[in-house]
Chains A and B, each alone.
Chain A
């Protein structure tokens, strides 16, 4: 069974450019999460979806960040315009319904973003 798939794995972009990170969750999972990891702030939850609907986006840093989940098998996290302080590892994760299946959240391999 395929895990959470993220792309690109690595991206280097110039300040001001638009960045789009993509995620395919595990089939059948109802929840999708976007986390960001930096040395300074650790792991931060940016936003999560339940059945394609955004539930909590309070972690999205500012209007430059947006996330969509047009269907159950695809989500994007977009940064426009990008800034050097956005450099981080961005993780997508998914889980089945929180009442069942042990509540385990499975992570993708992460997208390493560097903004120069």
Chain B
């Protein structure tokens, strides 16, 4: 079974600075997808960024980028120019890319709470 680990429960960053959130995962599969979701106080789960394991290039979405290290099974999220609106809980998640049906669920880490200091 796949597992996702977010070992830092909380982090804090100064507004306009850069912060990196860590995530590691364990899998025996070679084809999979990794995600970062943001959950603000409203509790809505918002997709931040997605990475396909078969792609070597790290995904980027505006101020958000990932450092995907497949051999190390590491998938960190970097937030540049942090804004007050970035304060939220962030979840790392894994989804198998192998076949359909039983492998289709999303496995989440426990999340990390990010606070942004003005």
Contacts and interface: CB of A to CB of B under 8 A. Distances in A.
Contacts of A112: 43
Chain A contact-residue range equals 20 to 34
B33 A110 contact: no
Interface in B47-73: 47, 50, 52
Contact of A48 (B44, B50, B104): B104
B91 A98 contact: no
Given A107-B44, A107-B45, A56 B105 contact: yes
Contacts, number: 65
Given A33-B105, A102-B50, A43 B100 contact: no
A68 to B, nearest CB: 19
B101 interface: yes
B96 to A, nearest CB: 8
Interface residues of B, number: 26
How would you classify the secondary structure of chain A's contact residues: helix, strand, loop or mixed? strand
Interface in B94-118: 95-97, 99-106, 108, 110-111
B102 A55 contact: yes
B95 A43 contact: no
Contacts of B108: 42-43
A50 B43 contact: no
Interface of A: 31, 33, 37, 42-43, 45, 48, 50, 55-56, 89, 91, 93, 95, 97-99, 102-107, 109-110, 112
Given A50-B104, A95-B104, A107-B44, 20 more contacts: A42-B111, A43-B111, A48-B104, A50-B100, A50-B101, A55-B101, A56-B102, A56-B105, A93-B106, A98-B99, A98-B100, A98-B104, A99-B99, A102-B50, A103-B97, A105-B35, A106-B47, A107-B37, A109-B44, A110-B43
Top 10 closest A-B pairs, CB basis?
A107-B45, A103-B33, A43-B108, A98-B104, A109-B44, A103-B95, A110-B43, A105-B106, A98-B100, A42-B110
